[in-house]
Structure 1
Amino acid sequence: MGQLVSIVVPNHNGARTLPQCLSALSAQTHPDLEVIVSDDGSTDDSVAVARAHGAHVVATGVNGGCGVARNAGRARARGDVIFYVDSDVALAPDAVATAVRILEAEPDTGAVCGIQDPEPLVEPTLIAQYRGLQYHYWSLSSQGTVSFLFPSLCAIPAKVHDEIGGFNPRLKQTEEVDFGHRLSRHYRLRLTPEVRGKHAHDRRLKVLLRKLFHRARLRIPLYARSRHFATGFETRERAWASLAAAASIPAFAAAFAGPWGLLAPGLLIAASIAGDRGMYGFVRQQRGPAFTVFFAGVHYLVNLTIVVGAVAGVTQWTTSRAFRRLYEQPATP
């Protein structure tokens, strides 16, 4: 008999995508599974959907965030391996079996995280298509050893999880960065395209930008303490690309000096694109030149949002002692 895998599905008002998520779990090739839906204060039909699919349901009672929900599910889990999958993700049929195989073959690996397909799970709006391609490429280019968790689909041996502790319940948006930071001090954290799934990405630009703003802002206290970026998405080239995009805004003032005044902002935007040229080449190959132009426009706004979020985080870090200590509290076991 193989290892028992406890699949923990943190959920808040996910009734729209939870059926696809749970159906994909029923189709897994790994034979020994228990499925736990950790409901984080949903007000929709999520709990009824989960029970109709035969999942165990754990309720947090309040909307405490993904970290709180994952901790509640972990407390109920009996498996040798804990596999986290978000309620808006549908795993490929071999995802669990592949993750277990990798963990068995690599004892020094403390977590195996998968990569989301470029196509959105449902309702592929233009923004969802942008996010699917962007997130897929950034994940694919980061494959290998990383230092923060990709918790939308990842497997962790239960004994490693117990050693590292749980997710910090005080954190929202960055609990996975904190968890991965702690885990990667002792174990390898692996990101691989061998473990796959489809994700229902954000459908509206406003929602996506708000999320990215707060993720950039809330990373500042952790990076200020560790004095380096996490290994993964945050490459030096992408940081410069974001700064170049932000610098193009004041440079547009030079346009009042005449046509040559557009040269400076144009060069900065070109530098921003060059900082992640592999991504734009990938998008052009997948979707053609017209969509690539749209993609570049959205990503320009994303770069601006990241810089504004980082500036807000630095400002808050310099003025708030509580913000500077955001990551000092130990996670709840």
Structure 2
Amino acid sequence: MKNQKRTTIYDIAKKLNLNASSVSRALSNNSNVSEATRKLILDTAKELNYKQNSLASNLRKGHNQTIGVIVPRINQNYFADVIAGIEEVTYQKGYNLVICQSNESSAREVKCVNTLINQHVSCIVISISADFEDDKHLQTIKEHGIPLIQFDRVAEHLDTFKVLNDNEQASIDAVSHLIEQGYKRIALLEGPQNVNIFKQRKAGYLAALKKHNYPILPELIKENAWTKELGAESTKELLSLAEPPDAIFASTSDFSALGVLEVATRMGLKVPEELGICGYSNEAFTEITSPSITTIDQYSVSMGKTIANLYFQEIESSEKDNNPKIVSIKPKLIIRSSTLRNKTD
């Protein structure tokens, strides 16, 4: 069976021998249309099974109840949960979401931004890619008058609404926990230092070592170890040192920590007795690995709700604030078996 042709305002106008503009005004409850004509048009629309194109209608009115969200990777639990949190709030408000994935590519991120601008979304929410180069495309969003909310990974110097985690304090908590467990040589797997969150997590690592009078050893800091594969490769290099680490803080992600655990398992190292492992993000798999992995919960669903509420409470408010708000959420250290060398902790 062929799909039935969608009824348009032109079909209604033709049947009633009216102008399409008159039909459009009636369907929009314009006061310039008489009550008798409005009733005739509405009855005919119902008879012809007319369905209003809400997107086109919103564009004609200059707005669109759609929020665009750009994340580095949709398949990571953290970003998926942030999106779920945003959707939970926006659904109640009658808004839709358009989700884009940069796949950690700045070029792809720019394309995502342009696509959302062309769709006339009400707001763009973004967490920048790992190879972020400059903020020209983000400036373009502002130039188009579209509200911009950055979260987690942000262009720090760009004056926009931001929802952030306290990454530095979370890393201080993680490294301090490892020190309290008796680990002496704590290595760091760090992410690209052009991205704010990885820079902050490294700062927390260094601050914790300094606080506990531990030496800072450059050979124990591995750059750009932010995937499972890169985490595994860095772990092999660290464990081949004449004095290898007895703990590794994978500050980039739990995927990197998983790479550490896989290498340690293959080498026959006992975790946590011979090697402590701490990740970041509280991915679902960290509870079911053997041993389970200590990590940091970023309260991602709550962050998503905070982002959505920020839009509705601040950006849509009639009382505009000239100073975009920055909201900080404190993550929580989740202690599991991979670091519990001292069972009394």
Instruction: Pick the TM interval, shorter chain.
Output: under 0.3
Greater helix content: 1
